[in-house]
Amino acid sequence: MTTTTEELNFEQKRRNEHVTEYLNGLTELHKFLYDNPEFVPMYGMEIVRYTNTAEELAEWLHKLGTFEKIDSNYISGGVVKIGTHQIKVQTDKGNTCKKILTGQIKTVAVEVDPRAPLPEGARNARSVTKVVYDMDEEETEWECPPSLLSPPVEEEDG
């Protein structure tokens, strides 16, 4: 399916209208809050943009300029603070890093009867009445590039 110049112009016009409408709304909000400071919230506004690829993340982070890195077990990205407000750009960690399996973790949660007598010689053990949760989980680490602006770590063929 090819896109015509007319369709591209329409999309650009629609985008420009959205940006203008958004910025006009911010101007009106600014005027209202200036005249009515009791409505100014305790915290600033947060704009969050999600990207689908490491390349798109790098492109958006470049637009932010200097940013603080966001690095969790699930998300890679950056945040820039503008006064009390902030803009975040982030992606799923798997888009930028390679997940490496390092082992297995066994998690067991049990229900005990606090009224049950202690076994001979035990100080605080009780009889298990029910296994509530029993799961094997993967223990993993992330192998990431030195910078979010670097190409993502590639999966090795093997």
- What confidence tens digit (pLDDT) does each residue in 24-35 have? 999 999 999 999
Nearest-10 Cα torsion for 123, 129, 135, 141? -20
- Tens of pLDDT, residues 36-67: 999 999 999 999 999 999 999 999 999 998 89
**117 and 88 together in one domain:** no
**67 and 116 together in one domain:** no
**87 and 103 together in one domain:** no
**105 and 47 together in one domain:** no
Contacts of 127 (CB under 8 A, 6+ apart): 112, 113, 116, 119
Residue 152: inside a domain: no
**Is pLDDT at 154 greater than 70 in this prediction?**
no
Q: Which residue segment(s) compose the domain that 42 sits in?
A: 5-95
Residue 102: inside a domain: yes
**87 and 105 together in one domain:** no
Indicate the number of domains in the chain: 2
CA atoms of 83 and 44, how far apart (whole Å): 8
**14 and 69 together in one domain:** yes
pLDDT at 148 (0 to 100): 79
What's the whole-model pTM score?
A: 0.64
Residue 77: inside a domain: yes
pLDDT at 37 (0 to 100): 95
